[in-house]
Amino acid sequence: MQKLENRIYDELNVGDKASLAHQVQESDLLLFAAVSGDVNPVHLDEEFAAATPFKGRIAHGMFSGALISAAIACELPGPGSIYIGQELSFLRPVRLGDNITIELEVLEKLPKNRVKIATRVINQDGKQVVDGVATVMAPTEKVSIDRPQAPAVQLG
């Protein structure tokens, strides 16, 4: 079984990096719409979305934000992290089938175990689709745990 291991505040250094990859699937858009209540047809209705400037369906912007949250929680700093704030700019659409990579980089260590982390999302063409900065309270106790399995969810 895969492990989740954190990096405590004292182990973090400016320039530390981590990443998380994800391919955007139909089920991502449907489940995110169900959980968030955001049923904007640009995400769910191909005919509607084809008539928009995007010329097709796109992922919810905050779906990328949720993947950034997952990268912080599971990769850098990892388990025990507390998400305090996030600035996001959506630069390009994320589409069904896109292979995106969430890239994190420690920018600054602050008092009270806080860190500023660059949060970038890059698509399969190497183009940045999201840019941001997170403020995170890093854990102070080392943790290494078995990676929990995400629950299976059936659509419909």
* Tens digits of pLDDT across the chain (156 residues): 799 999 999 999 999 999 999 999 999 999 999 999 999 999 999 999 999 999 999 999 999 999 999 999 999 999 999 999 999 999 999 999 999 999 999 999 999 999 999 999 999 999 999 999 999 999 999 999 999 998 888 776
Q: Is residue 154 part of a domain?
A: no
Model pTM? Answer: 0.94
| The token pair that represents 15 in the structure block | 């320039």
CATH number at residue 30: 3.10.129.10
Beta bridge partners of 37: none
Residue 72: helix, strand or coil by DSSP?
helix
pLDDT of residue 20: 97
pLDDT of residue 156: 67
Burial category of 139 from C-beta neighbours within 10 Å (exposed 0-12, middle 13-18, buried 19 and up) = buried
**Burial state string for 94-104 with b = 16 or more CB within 10 A and e = fewer than 16:** bbbebebbbbb
DSSP conformational letter for 9: G
Q: Is residue 153 part of a domain?
A: no
Would you tell me how many other CB atoms lie within 10 Å of the CB of residue 34? 12
Full residue range of the structural domain in which residue 95 is found:
7-144
Q: Is residue 69 part of a domain?
A: yes
Question: How many domains does the structure of the chain reveal?
Answer: 1
pLDDT of residue 155: 73
Name every residue whose Cβ is closer than 8 Å to that of residue 12 and which is 6 or more positions away in sequence: 77, 106, 109, 115, 138
CB 117 within 8 A of CB 78: no
Q: Is residue 62 part of a domain?
A: yes
Q: Is residue 39 part of a domain?
A: yes
Q: Is residue 71 part of a domain?
A: yes
d(CA 84, CA 98) in angstroms, rounded, equals 28
Q: Is residue 155 part of a domain?
A: no
